[in-house]
Structure 1
Amino acid sequence: MNPLLRVSLFRAHHSRALTAAAPQSSTALRTTSRIGRSAGKRHYSTSGSDSPKRQQTASGARDRAAVGVFTPKAAVIFVLTSVGLYFYFNYEKQKLQEQKKKELESRKWGKAAVGGPFTLTTHTGAPFTEKDLLGKWSLVYFGFTNCPDICPEELDKMTEVVIELDKSYGPIAQPVFISVDPARDPPPQVAIYLRDFHPRLVGLSGTYEQTRAVCKTYRVYFSTPKDATPDGDYLVDHSIYFYLMNPEGEFVEAFGKSSTVQDVVTRVQEEVAQWEKEKGKRT
């Protein structure tokens, strides 16, 4: 082959080789450049200059979460509220105690002056005074054995009341009948009269002076003449009540003819409950 032709062919081949290799080299160069820039960006974003700030922010968030809303202002409000509540409840407690004290005084001094010392004789002939009623609840009725209808009706009612109370408490109440007719109601007569009523009913009677004294003590109207005789012609008038007395001999309430058995039972139960609350016992 002609040498000149060989040189020309070599140069043409070499030129095509360079042309084919040039794009690859450029692509590699551009790729290398992007990688370098990317690495530079990553290096910049994770540089140590920003890390302390982020750590401080995270630490502050944790501190705020631990402290919550308990700021100095909140602490002052909490203390003032606590002190206010203490004084409020202490005031209410004292107020309640004063109210209870007044109620007790009212119960003690607000009652009528009913009841007191007396001396009479039972239907069995034994002496009987107000002290024999202490330590028990008592229902006291004033009447006379010749009473045609009112006295028997009231004593029947008293009997039913005692029966109902016995069901709830046992023998907690003592029924008492006091005659306002000393001339016609000696103990034997009273004993006969009581057979129709409650077996625990105690019948009491006495002389004219004793009867007048006990009626005055219980504020019962007494009209029997002083010179009355058993066969005399006279009328007896009296108050139509029976009285509830507590275990200390104090008057609680008077029940009139209009009071029903249930009225009396309910009232006695209320008094027994209150007594038990205050004294720790029923009698």
Structure 2
Amino acid sequence: MLRAIRFASIILVVLLGGVWATAWFARTPDESVADAFMRQLARLTGAEMPAAGGVQIAQGVSLGGPFTLVDQTGKTVTERDFAGRPLLIYFGFTYCPDVCPTELGTIAAALDTMGPAGEQVTPIFITIDPERDTPEAMADYVSRFHSRLVGLTGTPEQVAQAARAYRVYYAKVQPRDSTAYLMDHSSFIYFVGSDGRVRNLFRPDTTPEAIAAAVRAQLRAH
């Protein structure tokens, strides 16, 4: 029995060593060996790849789903209009003074960092402030960040449905010293694979390089 356990252990070590060697030679220029190893291991086992560069999505947690919104040209769109296309999605609002422009700038920089591979990914900005963020306001706003950035708004009910699908928190906040309101909201960047499933969830202040590496790894794995 002990001899069999030792033999199985040796086989496992040899197998993992082979996967590590493959990861070393197959990794992309900006991908760490550890991330490449996990990608190769996921491909070998058929399991979900951990959310490299972002937040690990707990098993059984479902993010994303059907939505009906209006883009910056005034056209009604649904999730089916983006079927088969990898997406980077961020929820925010155009009056946001700090984190929203920072994160949208990060998305734009990540896509530029990816080079030609970045052209496969569609960046999307979904407002959580439809009262002020009309299609016209969204068109002006998204044009400041990236030429391919899609801005989506809609009725309060449509926006709430999309936010629930991605488990986005938001609430109106009225500062004491101002007549204008702000929006308190969660601030994650979602990478959605071409199959419509959320593959990565990036925290605020994740670097463009880390996002680019994780998204490139997902594109290669799927």
Q: What TM-score does the superposition give when structure 2 sets the normalisation length?
A: 0.71
Secondary structure, in 3 states, of the residue corresponding to 2:183? coil
Counterpart Cα distance in 2 of 1:185 and 1:161 = 25
Higher relative contact order, structure no. (Cα contacts within 8 Å, ≥ 6 residues apart): 2
**Contact 2:103–2:205 (CA under 8 A) maintained in structure 1:** no
2:171 maps to what in 1? 223
**Contact 1:112–1:251 (CA under 8 A) maintained in structure 2:** no
Q: Residue 100 of structure 1: CA displacement?
A: 6.5
Counterpart Cα distance in 1 of 2:68 and 2:45 = 33
Amino acid at match of 2:94: T
1:118 maps to what in 2? 67
Q: Quick one: which of 153, 163, 187 aligns to 1:240?
A: 187
2:218 maps to what in 1? 271
Amino acid at match of 2:160: R
**Contact 1:180–1:224 (CA under 8 A) maintained in structure 2:** no
Q: Residue 102 of structure 1: CA displacement?
A: 9.1
Q: Quick one: which of 247, 250, 253 aligns to 2:197?
A: 250
Q: Quick one: which of 185, 191, 199 aligns to 2:133?
A: 185
Deviations 1:210-246 (A, max 9, x none): 1111100000002148xxxxxx743311111110000
Counterpart Cα distance in 2 of 1:270 and 1:111 = 22
Count of paired positions: 175
Deviations 1:239-283 (A, max 9, x none): 1111000001100011111310111011011111111xxxxxxxx
Q: How does 1:17-56 map to 2 (within 5 A)?
A: none
User: RMSD of the alignment, in Å?
Assistant: 2.7
Deviations 1:18-61 (A, max 9, x none): xxxxxxxxxxxxxxxxxxxxxxxxxxxxxxxxxxxxxxxxxxxx
Q: Quick one: which of 105, 122, 130 aligns to 1:156?
A: 105
| Gapped regions of structure 1 (runs ≥ 5) | 1-87, 226-231, 276-283
Secondary structure, in 3 states, of the residue corresponding to 1:192? helix
Task: Pick the structure with greater CA Rg.
Answer: 1
Q: Residue 125 of structure 1: CA displacement?
A: 0.5
| Gapped regions of structure 2 (runs ≥ 5) | 1-7, 17-40, 51-57, 174-178
**Contact 1:122–1:205 (CA under 8 A) maintained in structure 2:** yes
**Contact 1:175–1:200 (CA under 8 A) maintained in structure 2:** yes
1:173 maps to what in 2? 121
Q: Which has the higher strand share?
A: 2
Deviations 1:139-189 (A, max 9, x none): 000000000111111111100111122x14261100000000010101011
Secondary structure, in 3 states, of the residue corresponding to 1:200? coil
Amino acid at match of 2:217: E
Counterpart Cα distance in 2 of 1:156 and 1:252 = 21
> Is 1:104 aligned to residue 46 of structure 2?
yes
1:83 maps to what in 2? none
Q: Percent identity?
A: 35
Amino acid at match of 1:210: Q
Q: What TM-score does the superposition give when structure 1 sets the normalisation length?
A: 0.56
> Is 1:143 aligned to residue 85 of structure 2?
no
> Is 1:128 aligned to residue 70 of structure 2?
no
Deviations 1:101-144 (A, max 9, x none): 99435459936311000000000001111112221110000000
Q: Which has the higher helix share?
A: 1
Deviations 1:174-205 (A, max 9, x none): 00000000101010111111121110000000
Secondary structure, in 3 states, of the residue corresponding to 1:269? helix
2:35 maps to what in 1? none
> Is 1:202 aligned to residue 150 of structure 2?
yes
Counterpart Cα distance in 2 of 1:218 and 1:153 = 20
2:208 maps to what in 1? 261
Counterpart Cα distance in 1 of 2:130 and 2:143 = 19
